């Protein structure tokens, strides 16, 4: 009697890596400002990202969560964001936001896929979707910057049409 042989299954080519920024890309930063108390809006005027708890108050941008889920099916997808240095609650609030809006169990497309860094350029990738060029995006050496909110990537439908054809 012979033992069954393990059959290697070809997983196919690896998925391309995609990073997606949070603030003003999948998260509507202005919605958090609107929910601050009047006192906090006055106190943190001009530096709202330092307001404790602000990152827990924000809504998703229209279409962002569905787009994230679709992209996670065909790309190796991560959230790459910066948390303000002078706002310790931001680090926790961003994690809790991801869990609340994208799920917190192993079946979530964002499970353990949150990277917080002040130097985004240190993370190598095929694509990054970001509304800005700050925090190292302008120094990107590998991959393509999809500049969210600007032509031709004004909406998540625009981004999906572009990226899904390149997965």
Active site residues: 21, 23
CA distances (Å), 2 to each of 7, 9, 94, in order?
15, 21, 54
Residues in the chain: 167
Cα of 135 vs its chain's centroid, Å: 14
* 3-class state of residue 29 by DSSP: helix
Measured distance CA(132)–CA(145) in Å, rounded: 9
Pairing of β 127-130 and β 114-116? unpaired
């Amino acid at each position: 009697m012979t033992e069954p042989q393990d059959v290697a299954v070809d997983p196919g080519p690896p998925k391309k890596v995609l990073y997606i920024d949070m603030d003003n890309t999948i998260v509507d930063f202005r919605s958090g400002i609107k929910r601050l108390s009047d006192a906090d809006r006055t106190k943190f005027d001009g530096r709202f990202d330092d307001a404790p708890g602000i990152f827990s108050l924000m809504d998703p941008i229209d279409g962002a969560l569905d787009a994230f889920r679709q992209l996670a099916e065909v790309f190796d997808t991560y959230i790459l964001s910066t948390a303000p240095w002078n706002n310790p609650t931001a680090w926790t609030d961003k994690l809790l936001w991801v869990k609340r809006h994208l799920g917190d169990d192993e079946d979530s497309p964002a499970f353990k896929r949150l990277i917080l860094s002040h130097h985004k350029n240190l993370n190598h990738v095929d694509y990054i979707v970001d509304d800005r060029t700050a925090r190292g995006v302008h120094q990107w050496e590998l991959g393509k910057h999809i500049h969210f909110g600007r032509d031709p990537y004004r909406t998540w439908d625009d981004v999906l049409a572009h990226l899904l054809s390149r997965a």
